[in-house]
Structure 1
């Protein structure tokens, strides 16, 4: 303002003096005068210089103000925005979201908060690299922006979690459901990166604000709880928060904490389910199943804690700990008895898994040819080249490979051709339905015939009665397991079973407790 005032004053002074000076100059040129007054001429020149200097200073100051304003706006943008996606960050979301809740509820409207988590995103970084992970996040943000209305507030909380907020009329809840379903569907499409198609999915939780008393922190927590409920229900879906979900999350957190605390204390132990020759009843091996001996809750079955271990990323460490214990126990078995272990799909995403399992074989001294690794078909869909590398490495060590839950996937034949499997396991759902369903029986027959043509023996899971065993024998199924042959048992009970059949090494035989009254004689002998 000061520079502008100086320029204006100089211009007015120039107008006042310039007229007289210019008139004198013109009169001198035509021979009517003796030239302009030197004082006035000097004043006019000074005015011109002052105008030029003042104008330039005025422009410099304006430019500095513009640059400072742009810098402040840029700093504010960087402080409020996620640089990868262009969405708001957590801090800005909490501030803007609270204002949205107050304004919307004041107008008798509701606010929906979407919390969207990309399924298996950690696997994308582990397998394809962080550049691929960044590309997936950017594409996800683009798809979210395309589907949501421009009025929606969008944010990335961090990692692979996105939040969107939008006000709506109370009668338009169905539209919110439609938007949520559209988001989940859009994120099921694969993402192209470096000639690869990366498959992603999303689980979406929705929290609702109906009055201004609810805080942003509460809404985010409720949506997060609903999102984890979606993951428990099978992923690739959306769920509204309900009060009962909070208790489920607390239980899940207790289980996760129990797993973390229980692993170093040795609370997770192997159980062994018999596998027999169906025709003769001869014992061929055992499938290792995991149990949790909790000092607080007792013996916990795997379906209670395995999903939590997989979601929390603990399954790799947990599985290898129990497999090590199983190998130490199985070293005492007869060489004809095979130990079969299930491998989680999450473990097959680890490029170093075959080396880790080979290390266990070396450290425990367990023979590789007595180990059978069971791989579920569903774990093969995401990265077949990596799985091929892992199973080929295990095969080279002498480990046998079994394709578990055969028939439940949609690429079974291609997997049998692509990977060096030694055995096929028919899913228990087909065995259970076989007697009452001609279709299920036809599937079992087809799988058995396929195994014969590929020289791959067949194992049937879930054999629970004699009639099923007889029918499987007639169909040509060689190996079976299930309650009819014996339930999963502890290491001690398994050792007694093997000892009764003469299939236990002498050093591993269970010690028979001395008769009552012989303690003194034993002490003398010692």
Structure 2
């Protein structure tokens, strides 16, 4: 399909030809009019002069008419010519403006992705020519870290100001022959040639870009700061042959930039082939998690919680596991961070909690169930209502449920956390502060929220047998718990010596591999059944003998 504007054609150079540039007929008419004008003037003017001098007759009337008509035709042609020239200039200006809009970013004045791609292709083709000097093409991609928060908190005008300023700063540290483009959103790209034997040049440029971007921005009478994540790709890493070098380099730089973000942001990384493998694994993991939630592949496992002094089983902590048909049994440290980034952690967690409540309903009523709550769920003002709904649907007593929240939640929105905790406490749910000692929880926060228990992080328990000062820390936490009437749970008890050390320090509930690895719902049920600790067993044991005799009399088959 012809995509040229109506009435225009393209010449060999790709420029538009206007009708005035190719209207030979109109030009011929004007030239003929001029010739006829000169001819008629030669016939009319001598007679006119003779009449004026009184020496003879004037020109014939038809000659005068023809002469005047030619004069009018010449004037009309000249005016039309000027109008066409003006139209040509205006159309050329419109064409240049349209070309500029098509190939540049209107906000920052940089190139855009559409124009950057052929520029990179041209440079790569240039350095790959036989006899070309020792040169390679570097593609530098940069992304503003947490830019969405700038827009959300300060408005899009502040974000636009930051993008304009960032483009100006980056342009200032680039060499004169480098090209800068805004690929879209808060992503920019730079392309330049360099000596592949001296990659330190690109390192210095990347460091300068990061330093320049880190400087505060003046926005709306205040200052904002932001960091950059930068990825670098080199033309020497392109596959040979490569049909689309620009797109391939953009892909490699994007992977390097993503790696920089994953490694802590505010840094740059060169592309390495292993990054692509990691990215593909990550993509497979993301797809697997999304499909696994839909297929119900995430299930609860249960870790025993016991009284450290007596060894009596007191309950279980629910731990999510992913039974992937391709990856096998996957632990939470692999899938929970990914699920949080995908925004599906709430859906995943709630489905597993709902199943755990149904499983634990049939246990001994004296056994408790502890579940971990993600910080993402604690930011949801409706989570408490949904959890209470799950309890009602499973017919699980609220006083047997214990939710564990981390210290991180206390520093995000203490007002929302207090409201949620209070709502759950009013229904009988118990609240534990998880991983105590590794975050920023204070005694004031412990007093501000109605906690029922604190849990010592496994990091402290693991060092208990190796560092004497760790015993003092654990003893202090135990004293805080005793003083505030908060029972203490110790996580990560892996050996008998750790258990004995805790016994010497104080009174604890404990959990860890020393007491057994996490088990499936079926394994837990079988073990509790063997110990007569299912709800049905305890109900039978608690039934008075007179009731049993009466029941047998009413039903001899019983």
Q: Give the Cα separation in 2 of the matches to 1:365 and 1:188.
A: 55
**Structure 1 residues 144 and 424: CA distance shift in structure 2, 3 A:** farther
Aligned counterpart for 1:204 among listed residues 201, 213, 230:
230
**Structure 1 residues 209 and 499: CA distance shift in structure 2, 3 A:** same
Equivalent residue, structure 2, for 1:435 = 465
Deviates more, 1:107-116 or 1:268-277: 107-116
State whether residues 162 and 219 of structure 2, in contact with CA within 8 Å, keep that contact through their aligned partners in structure 1: no
Spell out, residue by residue over 1:268-322, the C-alpha distance to the aligned partner (whole angstroms, 9 max, x if none).
1111112233333333332221112123343222233333323333323222222
Aligned counterpart for 2:373 among listed residues 338, 343, 346:
343
In the alignment, structure 1 residue 472 sits paired with structure 2 residue 526: no
In the alignment, structure 1 residue 72 sits paired with structure 2 residue 95: yes
Q: Give the Cα separation in 1 of the matches to 2:515 and 2:463.
A: 19
Q: Give the Cα separation in 1 of the matches to 2:107 and 2:445.
A: 38
Q: Give the Cα separation in 1 of the matches to 2:291 and 2:275.
A: 24
State whether residues 170 and 213 of structure 2, in contact with CA within 8 Å, keep that contact through their aligned partners in structure 1: no
Unaligned runs of 5+ in 1: 7-48, 510-524
Look up the SS of the partner of 1:397 in the other structure.
helix
Q: Give the Cα separation in 1 of the matches to 2:163 and 2:481.
A: 42
Q: Give the Cα separation in 2 of the matches to 1:277 and 1:161.
A: 55
Aligned counterparts, 1:62-141, within 5 A: 67-83=90-106, 86-103=109-126, 106-118=132-144, 128=152, 132=155, 135-136=158-159, 139=162
Look up the SS of the partner of 1:170 in the other structure.
coil
**Structure 1 residues 364 and 243: CA distance shift in structure 2, 3 A:** same
Spell out, residue by residue over 1:150-203, the C-alpha distance to the aligned partner (whole angstroms, 9 max, x if none).
654334444554433333332442343344455556767898989999986554
Deviates more, 1:191-200 or 1:427-436: 191-200
Largest Rg, 1 or 2 = 2
State whether residues 410 and 441 of structure 2, in contact with CA within 8 Å, keep that contact through their aligned partners in structure 1: no
Aligned counterpart for 1:462 among listed residues 492, 500, 505:
492
Q: Give the Cα separation in 1 of the matches to 2:433 and 2:219.
A: 30
**Structure 1 residues 241 and 58: CA distance shift in structure 2, 3 A:** same
Q: Give the Cα separation in 1 of the matches to 2:470 and 2:216.
A: 33
Equivalent residue, structure 2, for 1:444 = 474
CA root-mean-square deviation: 4.9
State whether residues 384 and 424 of structure 2, in contact with CA within 8 Å, keep that contact through their aligned partners in structure 1: no
Aligned counterparts, 1:272-311, within 5 A: 272-311=302-341
Aligned counterpart for 1:395 among listed residues 422, 432, 447:
422
Deviates more, 1:407-416 or 1:192-201: 192-201
Aligned counterpart for 1:265 among listed residues 267, 279, 295:
295
Calculate the TM-score normalised by the size of structure 2.
0.69
Deviation at 1:98, TM superposition (A): 1.9
**Structure 1 residues 327 and 198: CA distance shift in structure 2, 3 A:** farther
Q: Give the Cα separation in 2 of the matches to 1:342 and 1:196.
A: 40
Aligned counterparts, 1:364-403, within 5 A: 364-378=394-408, 384-385=412-413, 388-390=415-417, 392-398=419-425, 399-403=429-433
State whether residues 123 and 349 of structure 1, in contact with CA within 8 Å, keep that contact through their aligned partners in structure 2: no
Look up the SS of the partner of 2:294 in the other structure.
coil
Larger RCO (alpha carbons 8 Å, 6+ apart) = 1
Unaligned runs of 5+ in 2: 1-19, 24-29, 31-71, 540-556
Look up the SS of the partner of 2:199 in the other structure.
helix
Q: Give the Cα separation in 2 of the matches to 1:444 and 1:414.
A: 19
**Structure 1 residues 99 and 484: CA distance shift in structure 2, 3 A:** same
Aligned counterpart for 1:223 among listed residues 244, 247, 253:
253
Equivalent residue, structure 1, for 2:435 = 405
Q: Give the Cα separation in 1 of the matches to 2:410 and 2:522.
A: 35
Look up the SS of the partner of 2:363 in the other structure.
coil
Calculate the TM-score normalised by the size of structure 1.
0.72
Deviation at 1:217, TM superposition (A): 1.5
**Structure 1 residues 346 and 276: CA distance shift in structure 2, 3 A:** same
In the alignment, structure 1 residue 165 sits paired with structure 2 residue 191: yes
Look up the SS of the partner of 1:97 in the other structure.
helix
Q: Give the Cα separation in 2 of the matches to 1:190 and 1:489.
A: 52
Equivalent residue, structure 2, for 1:250 = 280
Task: Figure out how many residues of one structure are paired with residues of the other and give that number.
Answer: 486
Look up the SS of the partner of 1:264 in the other structure.
helix
Q: Give the Cα separation in 2 of the matches to 1:71 and 1:311.
A: 46
Deviation at 1:264, TM superposition (A): 2.2
Deviates more, 1:270-279 or 1:70-79: 70-79
**Structure 1 residues 409 and 390: CA distance shift in structure 2, 3 A:** closer
State whether residues 379 and 416 of structure 2, in contact with CA within 8 Å, keep that contact through their aligned partners in structure 1: no
